[in-house]
């Protein structure tokens, strides 16, 4: 297998991810790369080299091209972002046909029809959370009281797991997303702790199955032999971290962008019918993803005028692709009246986010609830930002109304 150091020599590979910036507005260095160096050699925290890809057409191609392998980026001795456990049994680390087998097991529970069927319950949950928030002393942290508990409750109820302690799950979620925030040993310890916790939940659910996704997955393991035990645990980790952590971060980030300029939030208060399209524009605009899952080329591929050799890694940066001037008019403008733009915030190809429709329903109901319950919502101080992770998101969001 080719090693990452076989990339063409560079006098000084650029360290990646780039230095942290608070906020979700466009990163100027990405605009420069799209213009001048759309396929750039970078050095990852592990010390390995990779190609950073920033233009929409190239990113989209990588995400859909089977010659760029996720399995090669998580198993064996290939290049890595860092040297931590990468859940090699998970759906995120698999290529078709293995990935297709795993995806078929959970797709029905996360389909657009199922997400719509859950909308009423999500709307009721939103109402309840905001009703509890309104009488609290102000300022209040919207992350702690709303943007975190909403997706946490949704995914725990869907899986059939207890509504676990938010602080504990947040710590695990931060570890799974860490690029430089934690040491490799700290990340691996958090993964082991989460694995032990979920192993206990699986044992309890085996003894007392219910009408929920975890019971279905356990049955697929025990009766249909369609899952290994490692795949079962990894599914739970991915669903909790993705279904909760990603949605919670996105919701907090989208609310921050709306409150950052009051006229944005006021527009949705006066015209709530804009919310579905506005969410797509917010997802496109928010440069939340500052790292990416690696893929490794399984053969030589010419990409953006550069030959990516077999065994070399690529980082397909969707948040940069969503600002490509070749695709979007005035991409640096957040226009909530823009016709709902196609974007890559949920990925593309085989690894397109299987929970995208459920995430959309939660975001739509959350913003609808906010503008209805708290039309005077505004910031009460600067947010604290997560650092050293694969995504940018507010850790706190102090607000008043």
The string of pLDDT tens digits covering residues 13-72 is 899 999 889 999 999 999 999 999 999 999 999 899 999 999 999 999 999 999 999 999
Quickly count: other Cβ atoms within 10 Å of residue 100's Cβ: 13
- The dihedral sign for the CA sequence 51, 57, 63, 68: negative
User: Is 60 exceeded by the pLDDT of residue 74?
Assistant: yes
Q: What angle do CA 134, 139, 143 make, to 5 degrees?
A: 75
Q: How confident is the model at residue 85 (pLDDT cuts 50, 70, 90)?
A: low
| Position with higher pLDDT, 400 vs 106 | 400
Residue 69 β-bridge partners: 296
Which residue in 125, 119, 115, 149 sits closest to 373, CA to CA? 125
Q: Is the pTM of this model over 0.95?
A: no
Quickly count: other Cβ atoms within 10 Å of residue 385's Cβ: 18
Q: What is the mean pLDDT of residues 84-92?
A: 75
Q: What is the three-state SS of 355-400? A: CHHHHHHHHHHHHHHHHHHCCCCEECCCCCECCCECECCECCCEEE
| Position with higher pLDDT, 283 vs 291 | 283
Q: What is the mean pLDDT of residues 108-113?
A: 89
Mean pLDDT of the chain: 91
Confidence (pLDDT) at 292: 75
Confidence (pLDDT) at 10: 47
Confidence (pLDDT) at 295: 95
The string of pLDDT tens digits covering residues 292-339 is 789 999 999 999 999 999 999 999 999 999 999 999 999 999 999 998
What radius of gyration do the chain's Cα atoms show? 21
Q: What is the mean pLDDT of residues 262-268?
A: 97
Confidence (pLDDT) at 222: 82
The string of pLDDT tens digits covering residues 173-203 is 888 888 888 888 888 898 899 999 989 989 9
Q: What percent of the chain stands above pLDDT 90?
A: 63
Domains (ranges, CATH) in the chain? 4-400 (1.10.630.10)
- The dihedral sign for the CA sequence 301, 303, 309, 312: negative
The string of pLDDT tens digits covering residues 115-169 is 999 999 999 999 999 999 999 999 999 999 999 999 999 998 998 888 777 778 8
Confidence (pLDDT) at 76: 73
Confidence (pLDDT) at 172: 87
Paired sense of beta strands 398-400 and 378-379, if any: antiparallel
Confidence (pLDDT) at 174: 85
H or E element, residue 40? strand 39-43
Q: What percent of the chain stands above pLDDT 70?
A: 96
Paired sense of beta strands 68-69 and 294-297, if any: antiparallel
Q: How confident is the model at residue 11 (pLDDT cuts 50, 70, 90)?
A: low
Confidence (pLDDT) at 382: 96
Q: How confident is the model at residue 86 (pLDDT cuts 50, 70, 90)?
A: low
Confidence (pLDDT) at 7: 47
User: Cβ contacts of residue 223 below 8 Å, gap of 6+?
Assistant: none
Q: What is the mean pLDDT of residues 96-117?
A: 90
DSSP letter (8 states) at residue 178: B
User: Is 60 exceeded by the pLDDT of residue 273?
Assistant: yes
How many angstroms from the chain centroid is the CA of residue 223?
Answer: 32
Best-predicted range by mean pLDDT (15-24, 74-83, 87-96, 183-192): 15-24
As to burial, measured by CB atoms within 10 angstroms (0-12 exposed, 13-18 middle, 19+ buried), residue 368 is middle
Confidence (pLDDT) at 5: 44
Confidence (pLDDT) at 3: 45
Q: What is the mean pLDDT of residues 243-264?
A: 95
Paired sense of beta strands 14-15 and 39-43, if any: parallel
3-state secondary structure of 34: helix
Give the HSE-up count for residue 254: Cα atoms under 13 Å, Cβ half-sphere.
30
């Amino acid at each position: 297998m080719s090693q990452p150091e076989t990339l063409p020599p560079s006098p000084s590979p650029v360290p990646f991810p780039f230095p942290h910036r608070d906020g979700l507005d466009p990163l100027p260095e990405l605009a420069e790369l799209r213009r001048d160096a759309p396929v750039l050699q970078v050095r990852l925290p592990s010390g390995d080299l990779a190609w950073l890809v920033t233009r929409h057409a190239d990113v989209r191609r990588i995400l859909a091209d089977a010659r760029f392998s996720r399995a090669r980026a998580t198993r064996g001795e290939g290049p890595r972002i860092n040297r931590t456990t990468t859940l090699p049994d998970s759906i995120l680390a698999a290529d078709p046909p293995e990935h297709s087998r795993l995806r078929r097991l959970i797709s029905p529970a996360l389909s657009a029809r199922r997400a719509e069927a859950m909308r009423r319950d999500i709307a009721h949950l939103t109402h309840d959370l905001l009703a509890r928030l309104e009488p609290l002393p102000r300022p209040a942290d919207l992350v702690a009281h709303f943007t975190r508990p909403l997706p946490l409750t949704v995914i725990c109820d869907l899986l059939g797991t207890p509504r676990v302690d938010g602080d504990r799950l947040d710590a695990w979620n931060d570890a799974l997303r860490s690029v430089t925030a934690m040491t490799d040993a700290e990340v691996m310890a958090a993964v082991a702790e989460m694995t032990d916790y979920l192993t206990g939940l699986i044992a309890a659910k085996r003894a007392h199955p219910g009408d929920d996704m975890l019971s279905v997955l356990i049955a697929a393991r025990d009766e249909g032999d369609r899952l290994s035990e490692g795949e079962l645990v990894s599914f739970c980790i991915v669903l909790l971290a993705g279904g909760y952590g990603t949605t919670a971060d996105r919701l907090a980030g989208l609310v921050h962008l709306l409150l950052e300029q009051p006229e944005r939030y006021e527009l949705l208060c006066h015209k709530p019918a804009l919310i579905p399209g506005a969410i797509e524009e917010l997802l496109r605009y928010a440069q939340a993803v500052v790292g990416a899952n690696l893929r490794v080329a399984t053969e030589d591929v010419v990409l953006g005028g550069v030959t990516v050799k077999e065994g070399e890694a690529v980082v397909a940066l969707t948040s940069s692709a969503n600002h490509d001037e070749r695709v979007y008019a005035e991409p640096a403008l957040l226009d909530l009246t823009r016709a709902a733009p196609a974007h890559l915030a949920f990925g593309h190809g085989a690894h397109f986010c299987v929970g995208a429709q459920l995430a959309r329903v939660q975001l739509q109901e959350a913003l609808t609830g906010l503008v209805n319950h708290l039309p005077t919502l505004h910031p009460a101080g600067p947010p604290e930002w997560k650092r050293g992770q694969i995504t940018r998101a507010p850790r706190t969001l102090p607000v008043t109304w």
